[in-house]
Structure 1
Amino acid sequence: MQATFPHPSGSSSLLSAFRATESEWLAYAFYTNKISGILSGAFDANLWQRLVVQVADTEPTVRHGIFALGNLFRHYGVSDGMSECVCPRCRQALRHYNKAISSFAQYMQRPRDQLTIDVALLSCLIFICIESYRLNDRIAISLITKGCGMIAEAMPRALATQTVAIDSGLLNLFDRLWLLSSMFGHHIPRPSQRPASPTSTLGQLPLEGTIQTARDRLHEIITLVQSLRLRVFQAQMKSMSVSERVATITSLQQEQQTVLLLLENWQSGLQGLIDRQGLHSFRDSQAWSILTVHWLITKIRAGASMDPSEIDSEDQSEDFRNLVAVAEGSLVQHPQESEANDFSFEPGFLPALYLTARKCRDSVTRRKALELMSLASGKEGLWYRSELRCITARVIELEEGLAVLGSQDQLGTVNQKPIRFYDILADLNYRHGGRTYVNVTYLMYDADSDSRWRTARETLTITE
């Protein structure tokens, strides 16, 4: 039986223009009343609660995507068996997901003048969300690549004709997904070659700026730090003359100081924005806590970016403690209300707590960060809590001498005591025999060894 019902929000100005079965309306209502708020997180209500619902009224691709999400999120929560689940809700979700994919294929066959880039990107975004929730991260990353490619293709026409407008929220979101993908070792071209803010002004927030402006500026600085760390690593690995190495390192050190100044200016700019606009209650919000934690971990990563052994992290001990304190305050104040809340589309506290537990040299602080990870969402974008906790616990064991690598995975004779890992490289996890595994590579820099770089590899079984 099909019927047309008013929009579940109860708004008299929004009446749904499509027909659906009773079960579809239940899924739709669950999305509009619950899931859209979860996916919005602390910042993106306009996208998930307004734009997605608005487009769903006329586009079956997005509408079936909503039906799929409405069923999927009524599952019992994120778990390592999600990708294999065949419960009634997941089967229903997959049916609508397949319909959404079919509708998307039909949509893309329309004449170009009947295609809207926002509809294509929203469809791609919903597909990414579904695959991320089901722990199919390889597919999610391939979809991120697809979405970034669509933007890259559309941008030249948009600039040339000024007739193709891409929603700024979608543009910024795919730019963040591009950075997220690169953090997982999947480097793709940046989706939009928008004129970047001059480096000297990135840390400054305009007088009429908003919290969203502050978030976007911080994202640009995080991008600079990620690039800096990658180029430092490449310089350390590259064979070059002494003079060339000195020149390269000097240039990178200057860039590091610039980035640290940008971060300092950004933080003072955010405080000024809050004071000017009377947003004092914002300091009690989850959004403020997330921005602060992201700023602190970026400051830590920038400060340690020039040291290949990363053993100077003691210098950031106060920042680590502040990060843990802010995260704890927010996670306790804003606990997960239900298992449906066990997923967030974009990173919140989980990545910063993971990096803190991995890098902080104070045992109490790093173990507190590990403990707090259990209060974060089960999945934040591509960051999977069970996997991160498993890796972190293992790193702490190895660095604190509570365990040793197996004989086949040994680093060899290591002069550095205690062991300090430069980085941990984790492949995307995989399922086998009903269990979830992740292959981990430990990278260590030993300045006193003839071969400065050492690696060891082992497979970890993921358990909560």
Structure 2
Amino acid sequence: MCALHLSRSHPGESRSSNHAHAARPRDIENGGQDDQKDADANLSTLESHGSHVWRPNPADPGVQHIRAADFFATTFQDAEEALEELLPLSLQFVRCADEYRFGELATESAPSDLLGQQAILAKSIDNLQGLMGNLRENFPHMGDADARYSSFVLRAKFCQIWIATALEKDEMQFDAWMDTFREMIIHTETLGRTIQRQKRSRIGPEIRFEIGFIPLAYFILMKCRDRSIRLKALRLITEYGTSRESFWEKEKMVTVGTRIIEIENKVKLNGGDQILSLSAPGHLPSVEDRIWDTTFNPKRIIAGEYNGEMVTGAPMGFIMRNNDGRWYVRHEFIALGAL
């Protein structure tokens, strides 16, 4: 069983990130016994010290359940800290769900415990967004705090979509979230402008984000089929993204994001967000055009010719499905800079 873990510190102790890892496929195959022991230990900790968000269900010790009455936020910091707890749990859940979406277990139905975890996380993020909305109404004049609010909304919406779609086996499901993507783009631009202003001024404390700017904008580009929204996301990465955020390299993400838009939406871009040619006006990618995921090996950087000039780059794979539903990889050479 792929269980969610959450450790909390004693009252008065400093908080630290506890990013437990999800069960790997082999853990699932052997019943996840090691993960289950860890989960039971963490649940005992929860029971002893309490939690604003979670409580164990004695009937099912492998799953943590929401206790809405304890889920509170009286300040933005409270809400942000609660979201910090939900983010790693969401990551764990999605990693487990991937096996049932298009991994080795794709032909099997998701187990009840995984469905239970999905319901728990969905309820949690909905409750938290409602609380944050109330805080926003009570404190409408936020000034420079708008970036913090935008960061919160972006990460919360990111989790909400991720959780809701993690077990779906159809990429077209993301069309149902089009309005949410539009809202996310607005907050992405607010956040980007703040990051740019901080770079220029270097005055005051820098706002740091648990999920960086580029991953959030790239998620919108990758999952939203609407061409105009995707082009805005690409522009925001280009304009506001830093050269490197953890293992997210701006140049690589812009290059890969450009090819995703070109392949799916059947357009030719100018290396930015401007369309040079358009083969299907108003085109939304078909099931066969949809890119589910990408593969890239940064260690395989090679030199090659691209558009008449010698460049560095690497082999890139775009994971897609053909007309009969079979998976295949579309291989391309991705240029990452001139020699």
Given the two structures, how large is their TM-score scaled by the length of structure 1? 0.49
Give CA-to-partner distance per residue, 1:138-192, whole Å, 9 cap, x none: xxxxxxxxxxxxxxxxx9xxx9xx9xx99735x22xx46x77xx9xxxxxx99x9
Tell me if the contact between 2:221 and 2:229 (Cα under 8 Å) persists in the aligned partners.
yes
Distance 1:463 1:205 in 2: 52
- Greater helix fraction, Structure 1 or Structure 2: 1
- Residues 238 and 288 of structure 1: is their aligned pair in 2 closer, same or farther, counting only changes over 3 Å? same
- Residues 258 and 456 of structure 1: is their aligned pair in 2 closer, same or farther, counting only changes over 3 Å? same
Tell me if the contact between 2:79 and 2:132 (Cα under 8 Å) persists in the aligned partners.
yes
1:266 and 2:266 matched: no
Pairwise CA distance, 1:344: 6.5
Q: Which residue of 1 aligns with 2:266?
A: 401
1:443 and 2:309 matched: no
Map 1:345-360; keep pairs closer than 5 Å: 346-360=210-224
The count of aligned residue pairs is: 271
Distance 1:208 1:418 in 2: 44
1:221 and 2:86 matched: yes
Residue 218 of structure 2 aligns to a residue whose secondary structure is helix
Tell me if the contact between 1:293 and 1:349 (Cα under 8 Å) persists in the aligned partners.
no
Q: Which residue of 2 aligns with 1:58?
A: none
Q: Which residue of 2 aligns with 1:29?
A: none
Which letter does structure 2 place at the counterpart of 1:238?
A: E
Which letter does structure 1 place at the counterpart of 2:326?
A: R
Tell me if the contact between 2:220 and 2:233 (Cα under 8 Å) persists in the aligned partners.
yes
Unaligned runs of at least 5 residues, structure 2: 1-6, 25-34, 47-53, 56-63, 269-285, 304-309
Map 1:102-181; keep pairs closer than 5 Å: 168-169=14-15, 171-172=16-17, 175=18
Map 1:385-400; keep pairs closer than 5 Å: 385-400=250-265
- Residues 211 and 284 of structure 1: is their aligned pair in 2 closer, same or farther, counting only changes over 3 Å? closer
Tell me if the contact between 1:343 and 1:379 (Cα under 8 Å) persists in the aligned partners.
no
Map 1:47-58; keep pairs closer than 5 Å: none
Pairwise CA distance, 1:325: 0.8
Larger Rg: 1
Pairwise CA distance, 1:352: 1.0
Residue 90 of structure 2 aligns to a residue whose secondary structure is helix
Unaligned runs of at least 5 residues, structure 1: 1-154, 183-188, 404-415
- Residues 283 and 258 of structure 1: is their aligned pair in 2 closer, same or farther, counting only changes over 3 Å? farther
- Residues 344 and 264 of structure 1: is their aligned pair in 2 closer, same or farther, counting only changes over 3 Å? closer
382-391 or 345-354, which deviates more: 345-354
- Residues 275 and 282 of structure 1: is their aligned pair in 2 closer, same or farther, counting only changes over 3 Å? farther
Q: Which residue of 1 aligns with 2:172?
A: 311
Q: Which residue of 2 aligns with 1:300?
A: 161
Tell me if the contact between 2:158 and 2:216 (Cα under 8 Å) persists in the aligned partners.
yes
Tell me if the contact between 2:151 and 2:209 (Cα under 8 Å) persists in the aligned partners.
no
Q: Which residue of 1 aligns with 2:31?
A: none
Tell me if the contact between 1:331 and 1:376 (Cα under 8 Å) persists in the aligned partners.
yes
Distance 1:453 1:418 in 2: 10
Pairwise CA distance, 1:210: 4.3
Distance 1:220 1:252 in 2: 18
Q: Which residue of 1 aligns with 2:51?
A: none
Which letter does structure 2 place at the counterpart of 1:387?
A: K
- Residues 378 and 339 of structure 1: is their aligned pair in 2 closer, same or farther, counting only changes over 3 Å? farther
Distance 2:104 2:87 in 1: 24
Give CA-to-partner distance per residue, 1:66-118, whole Å, 9 cap, x none: xxxxxxxxxxxxxxxxxxxxxxxxxxxxxxxxxxxxxxxxxxxxxxxxxxxxx
Q: 1:365 aligns with which of 225, 229, 233?
A: 229
Which letter does structure 2 place at the counterpart of 1:422?
A: W
Distance 1:439 1:231 in 2: 28
Tell me if the contact between 1:260 and 1:299 (Cα under 8 Å) persists in the aligned partners.
yes
Pairwise CA distance, 1:254: 4.5
Distance 1:224 1:401 in 2: 36
- Residues 338 and 234 of structure 1: is their aligned pair in 2 closer, same or farther, counting only changes over 3 Å? closer
Q: Which residue of 2 aligns with 1:128?
A: none
1:427 and 2:297 matched: yes
The Cα RMSD (Å) is 4.1
Residue 298 of structure 1 aligns to a residue whose secondary structure is helix
Distance 2:191 2:120 in 1: 30
Tell me if the contact between 2:73 and 2:131 (Cα under 8 Å) persists in the aligned partners.
no
Pairwise CA distance, 1:371: 0.6
Which letter does structure 2 place at the counterpart of 1:259?
A: L
1:461 and 2:335 matched: yes
Distance 1:355 1:455 in 2: 20
- Residues 264 and 336 of structure 1: is their aligned pair in 2 closer, same or farther, counting only changes over 3 Å? same
Q: 2:152 aligns with which of 276, 283, 291?
A: 291
Which letter does structure 2 place at the counterpart of 1:462?
A: L
Which letter does structure 1 place at the counterpart of 2:125?
A: L
Tell me if the contact between 1:429 and 1:436 (Cα under 8 Å) persists in the aligned partners.
no
Pairwise CA distance, 1:441: 2.8
Q: Which residue of 2 aligns with 1:238?
A: 104
- Residues 210 and 359 of structure 1: is their aligned pair in 2 closer, same or farther, counting only changes over 3 Å? same
